[in-house]
Amino acid sequence: MPELDSSLQTILPGLSDCLSLQASPPPTQGLLIKRMQSDEHTFMEALKSKGYFLADVHGSIDMQTSPPTVRFAIDPGPRFVFGAVDIQVTSDEADVEALLRKVSGRVSPGKAYASNYVVDAEDSMLQELRRNGYPWPSLGTRKVVADHAKQDVQVRFVVHTGPHAVFGPARLEGLEDVRDETVRSVLAWEQGQSFDERKLEQTQEELIRSGLFRSVRVRVEPDSPPGATAPVVVSVLEAAPRTVRAGLWYYLDQGAGVSSGWTHRNVWGGGEEFSVDMELGQKLQKLDSALVLPHILHPDQALHIGAGYEHEETDVYESSSVKASAIFRRDFDFIQADCGLAYRLYEVDSKNQIRNFNLLSVPLGLAWTTVTNPLDPVSGFALSAQAEPFTPLSSEGEPFVLWNLTGRSYLSLHPQDTFVLAARGRYSLLAGAGHGNIPEDLLLYAGGGGSIRGYAYQYAGPLNKDDEPEGGMSAIDFSVELRWRINEEFGAVLFSDGGGAFARQNPEPSDTYFWGAGTGLRYYTPIGPLRFDVAVPLNRRSGVDDPFQLYLSLGQAF
């Protein structure tokens, strides 16, 4: 008996009533025979759908066993291939048939037959027509004939293109507080352009991404109007414009803290977003506000205006600062580009010496991401590069530049995302000024819950004579995590972190690197996973590093 190929060995057991219902055997031999015959018919239809039109399926029952045993002998026979493929097109356009043949995929003479290939080819043809100026294509009755003598299958497709059309007027439905022109500015087409279904999809994605709507549907009117124009309907359901959020965290090295925020995503009806965020911790207090003005000078460009206050108290310094910024952000598919101006005023108390810094900077950045779920990513990557030149506005101080390169990557190791391998890295550099002419909270540090776990906040780097962090001119850190989603509610992780902050701008292999490792639990909530990590320092310094560190917060570590 010929051996079944691997695809059939996978498909056929899942179709068998005898197998799926073996825990519920029929009460009589006659009913068991009917169940077996039903499987014979099902197997035969499945084999035909894969091109085995000459297959033979024979079932038998061994009544001498308890319970009775059902066996199937299957001879698939030869697999038929596609023979002649004819595409009948009701259109005056000479190049339409050639266009459709390019997307007919696996339905071509000599290729192995499968019925789903035929259905897929029809779907691809309709999609290609909708992308090339035909909003209303349809299918006629296809003809599929298996020739047992030639062992091939002839297929005839019948495709009605409908009229060639251009985009007509767009009608908007469901708007309440969002202005009409706000939606129209996002439309990916202009009236009079050749119809392309992808423009509808692009517009729908952009409107959903704006956060202004709970649902969006962009469709062409179902009937062809006179004049071969395609009117479009944009139907929306507006989302609640205001959001309130709150969070809490606990790090053994930084203590406890709470955060809260408020956002209005449609301040003046044009998708303008205003937000206020506050953090209150034992060592850090922050208040930030931001106003985002979309579609400034370009449909894909926004102006981000921000202002904030921050007070931080560490083992080495206490700083207070106010800041203001205005940054243009331009979106290019998966890439974001930033350029703007920022101002910072610092007062830093370090070693009983109070210093003031008055700095103007030009933040520049590029970011590329394919990550779709920032709180619990399972696939994709994110890369970013930032450069921020600082200029002192007072007579004291020197100009300097802060460089940052960061990357994150996520790889699912299981079809249901049960296991995810995550990795991240950072390289930062300060150039142009000496260590003493840079505010302490702009110096580079490593260690803590968002850096090298197992070491206290800012302690994975150079220390002064009192074993307190000095801050560095460069920093490198990286992490690898294996994440296991145990069930809907709980997960676990294993992780290892490494790197450090360095006194010189160009770290060398001989410099001291810090390594940490640990494990953690995740409790999954509707707003993201609750993280609890325990980490130990692998090269612990006596009198400096604690035996372990604890971290509790919302969201994955990165």
Tokens matching residue 534? 């325990």
Under 8 Å between Cβ of 365 and 384: yes
Beta-ladder partners of 93: none
Cα separation, 73 vs 76, in Å, equals 10
What's the CA gap between 409 and 369, in Å, rounded? Answer: 10
Could you tell me if residue 393 is left (phi over 0), alpha (psi between -120 and 50 degrees) or otherwise beta?
alpha
SS3 205: helix
Task: Please state, in angstroms and rounded to a whole number, the distance separating the CA atoms of residues 295 and 177.
Answer: 18
Mean pLDDT by 10 residues, the chain (558 residues): 74 92 90 96 96 95 90 94 94 80 89 95 95 94 96 96 92 95 93 96 92 94 78 95 88 87 95 96 95 92 97 90 97 92 93 89 96 85 97 87 98 92 97 90 92 94 91 96 94 97 87 95 89 95 93 87
Within 8 A by CB and 6+ apart from 488, the residues are 524
DSSP state of 558: -
Q: Fill in the amino acid letter for 501.
A: A
pTM given for the model: 0.74
Q: Are 122 and 138 in contact (CB under 8 A)?
A: no
* 189 alpha-carbon distance from chain centroid: 26
Rounded Cα distance between 122 and 159, Å, is: 9
Q: Which amino acid is at 368?
A: W
CA 34 to chain CA mean position, Å = 50
- Per CATH, the number for 81-160 is 3.10.20.310
Q: Which of 235, 131, 128, 133 is nearest to 192 (CA)?
A: 133
In CATH, the number for domain 166-238 is: 3.10.20.310
Distance CA 136, CA 110 (A): 32
Which pLDDT does position 39 carry in this prediction? Answer: 96
SS (HEC) of 433-446: CCHHHCCHHHCECC
Is CATH 3.40.630.30 what the domain over 242-554 is classified as, yes or no? Answer: no
C-alpha separations of 245 from 51, 52, 64, 137, 263 in Å: 57, 59, 68, 47, 9
CA nearest to 557, candidates 460, 471, 459, 454: 454
Angstrom distances, CA of residue 473 to CA of 132, 349, 457: 56, 20, 17
- Please state the length of the chain: 558
How many whole angstroms separate alpha carbon 65 and alpha carbon 94?
67
User: How big is the chain by its Cα radius of gyration, in Å?
Assistant: 32
